[in-house]
Amino acid sequence: MNKLKVAASALGIFTGLAGASHGPGEMLQGNVAPSNTVFQAWPSLTALGGEPAMTIIPNLLVTGILTITVGVLLAVWAAKFISRKHGGLVLILFTIVMLLVGGGIVPPLFGVAAGVIATVFNFKRAKSGGVD
């Protein structure tokens, strides 16, 4: 198995789970609108000052559910489908969606990096005739 594929997959799984971890904090805030587009997913984490996230959804309960769903889907995609022809691009799209539904500010940076690594891996594999 190629090291780039393993790196992209591991980083993608980490991204999905890290993003999904914002969801319960958003859900616990209840059926309310966030105060701003950027808000604290876990406002009770005083040591960290909360976990910053952003959303375009005007309801934190729905945001939390979508965050967990998209994060898990992203992790599954990274684990199972990263080596498909457009696996890296789909991973980047999942990451952008996760950013917009409350998956945090930092995890999407790792997701984009995983998508770029997967795209490089798939490009090299296609260039060498499809051999891992």
- What is the structure's pLDDT at 87? 93
Residue 131 lies in a domain: no
Q: Which domain holds residue 86?
A: 3-126
Say how far apart CA 131 and CA 24 lie, in whole Å.
41
Residue at 132 is within a domain: no
Pull the structure tokens for residue 69.
Answer: 């769903």
Task: Please report whether residue 21 resides in a domain.
Answer: yes
The pLDDT score that the predictor gives to residue 116 is 94
> What are 19-77's pLDDT values in tens digits?
999 999 999 999 999 999 999 998 877 666 778 999 999 999 999 999 999 999 999 99
What is d(CA 34, CA 68) in angstroms, rounded to the nearest whole number? 17
- Evaluate whether residue 80 is within a structural domain: yes
More confident residue, 49 or 103: 103
The reply to whether 19 falls in a domain is yes
Phi–psi pair at 101, nearest 5 degrees? -110, 15
Q: Is the pTM of this model over 0.85?
A: yes
pLDDT at 126 over 80: no
User: What is the predicted pLDDT for the residue at 63?
Assistant: 97
User: Is position 42 within any domain?
Assistant: yes
Output the CA torsion sign for 71, 111, 106, 15: positive
Domain assignment present for 51: yes
Question: Is 61 domain-assigned?
Answer: yes
Question: What is the total count of domains within the chain?
Answer: 1
Instruction: Please give the C-alpha separations between residue 39 and each of 20, 58, 79, 83, in angstroms, as whole numbers.
Output: 16, 12, 30, 35
Bigger pLDDT: 2 or 45?
Answer: 2
The pLDDT score that the predictor gives to residue 130 is 63
